[in-house]
Amino acid sequence: MVVNDADVGEPLEARLYEVIRYVRPLHQYLGKAVADALEGRDVTVPVRAVLERLHDAGPQTVPQVGRSLWITRQFVQRLMDDAAERGLVEPVANPAHKRSPLFRLTDQGRTEIRDILAREAATLREVAEGLDPQDVDACVRVLAHVLTEFRDRVRAHDGSTGWDAEGPRPGEDVR
């Protein structure tokens, strides 16, 4: 169903801005919830992001992880070094580039991220209670559209953001 501005009494851009105003506090609360859930583990929030990326995409180079997480290569290198010291990741030969190894999860890293993701899924099941799946699907479509539009506008403005990650696609399993 297409809704026009006259049907709801408020311009669409104002309603979209209301959605966007929820993003920052949601991001902050999610970060805090993830950090709280990691309490007592030997994994920080940034290392958790690296583990999740390797879980989702398989072995990757430091620059690939940096682009996909929208963080600098130097920061990812520190995270990889930290994760390797903890036995969660290990470098392996990269047939495509001799000086840029691939990093992959160790058995310990795979177990750790699977446990973290399972605990997070349990929390999300509780949060999802009472939500209409069609509303969630619509939310994903809206956020994907807004992400794509602003990414493209930023790229058009300065040629590149330095980020190669496109973000999840509607319907894509991001786990």
Q: Specify the residue for token string 């290990």.
A: 90
pLDDT, one tens digit per residue, over 91-121 is 999 998 888 999 999 999 999 999 999 999 9
3-class SS string, 105-147? ECHHHHHHHHHHHHHHHHHHHHHHCCCCHHHHHHHHHHHHHHH
Whole-number Å distance between alpha carbons of 165 and 68: 5
Q: What is the pTM of this model?
A: 0.80
| Listed range (23-27, 93-97, 114-118, 151-155) with the worst mean pLDDT | 151-155
- Would the pLDDT of 6 be above 90? no
pLDDT of 150 reads: 87
Residue 175 confidence class, pLDDT cut points 50, 70, 90: very low
The first and second tokens of residue 66, run together, are 């940096």
- Would the pLDDT of 126 be above 70? yes
Residue 9 confidence class, pLDDT cut points 50, 70, 90: confident
Could you state, in order of their start, the residue ranges of all structural domains in the chain? 1-39, 41-129, 132-175
Buried residues in 56-86 as b, exposed as e (16+ CB within 10 A): eeebbbbebbbbbbebeeeebeebbebbeeb
Structure-model confidence comparison of residues 172 and 79, the more confident one: 79
Whole-number Å distance between alpha carbons of 144 and 138: 10
Q: Which sign does the torsion angle of CA 76, 81, 86, 89 carry?
A: positive
Q: May I ask the CATH class of domain 41-129? A: mainly alpha
Structure-model confidence comparison of residues 46 and 9, the more confident one: 46
pLDDT of 10 reads: 86
